[in-house]
Amino acid sequence: MPSGQIIKAISGFFYVKSDDREVIQCRARGIFKFEKKKIKPLVGDLVTWESTGLDQGVVTSVQPRSTELLRPPIANVEQAVVVCALREPKFQSLPLDRFLVHAEKEKLRIVICLTKKDLVEQLEDIEMIKEMYSKADYPIVTTSIRTGEGIDELLEMLKGETTVFAGLSGVGKSSLLNHILPDSNQQVGAVSEKIGRGRHTTRQVELLPLKDGGQIADTPGFSQLGLQGMTAEELTYAFPEYHTYLESCRFRGCYHQNEPGCAVKEGVKAGELNEKRYEHYLLFLSEIQQERRY
């Protein structure tokens, strides 16, 4: 039975790139074993399929996944590039931290990509962002599609990897992908000056091949990214800068909230850990705890 990878999904159709690189338009078989097993085919899935005619077929099975993201819905990615604008719209650390938490939960390698550097007059603003994430040890690439700055550095990080690009609408994700993949023809939307964010220009998840090897997953922008299904324990480990502090907390299973003798809280107080990141941690923890009550 032939096999391949789902590279795009639209309106119930799954576009499978077969092992011989031909793209087959498929549907899932029936209402399907997938639903009985609570498995829905996703872009990135490795699947088997049967032909039903010229360039058409049905997906018959989904192979076990190495990773799975719900928002954006994609499987088997290895790396996440979280795209944030420095200007237009202004940099926002809260949605960035939400994306980072989800990527950490899936144990993805993470790169933070800051776009629109050409619009920044005070370079100290960029240094403040880098300092905020320095203890988490995330690679940060600062880019401008107008000047080309940072593009080669980013391309080097993408080689040979299956990478998901994620970020809020209007941050320059589609423009960046057009620059990296000029044949992809991603639709670009203007940022609304009134609301400070862009229209949702990417409408489906799609895997795009890189010339030097690897794949990029373009994904829709999101205005919300909830933490449904995440536990408080998982959240604690989703902030990598806290890892070295955990063993020094007085209580095992410390949530770094109200517990006495908490090394994370002491690290924040001493200026060793970023206060804004800690505020976001507490906000996410409150969301998780609230969800569990209901």
**Summary count for the chain: helices (H), strands (E):** 9, 15
Q: Which CATH entry fits the domain spanning 3-62: 2.60.40.1930, 2.40.50.140, 2.70.98.10, 3.50.50.60?
A: 2.40.50.140
Of the two residues 32 and 40, the one the predictor is more confident about is 40
Q: How far apart are CA 218 and CA 237, in angstroms?
A: 27
- Predicted structure pTM score: 0.83
Q: Yes or no: is domain 68-218 CATH 3.40.50.150?
A: no
Beta strands in 191-250 (DSSP E): 191-192, 197-198, 206-209, 215-218
Q: How far apart are CA 15 and CA 293, in angstroms?
A: 41
- pLDDT tens for 117-172 read 999 999 999 999 999 999 999 999 999 999 999 999 999 999 999 998 888 888 88
Other CB atoms within a 10 A radius of the CB of residue 60 amount to: 17
Angle at 97 between CA 92 and CA 102, to 5 degrees: 140
- pLDDT tens for 3-21 read 999 999 998 899 999 988 8
Q: Return the bridge partners of 25, or none.
A: 15, 56
- pLDDT tens for 176-189 read 988 888 665 544 44
Going from N- to C-terminal start, the domains of the chain cover 3-62, 68-218, 232-293
Top-level CATH class of 232-293? Answer: mainly alpha
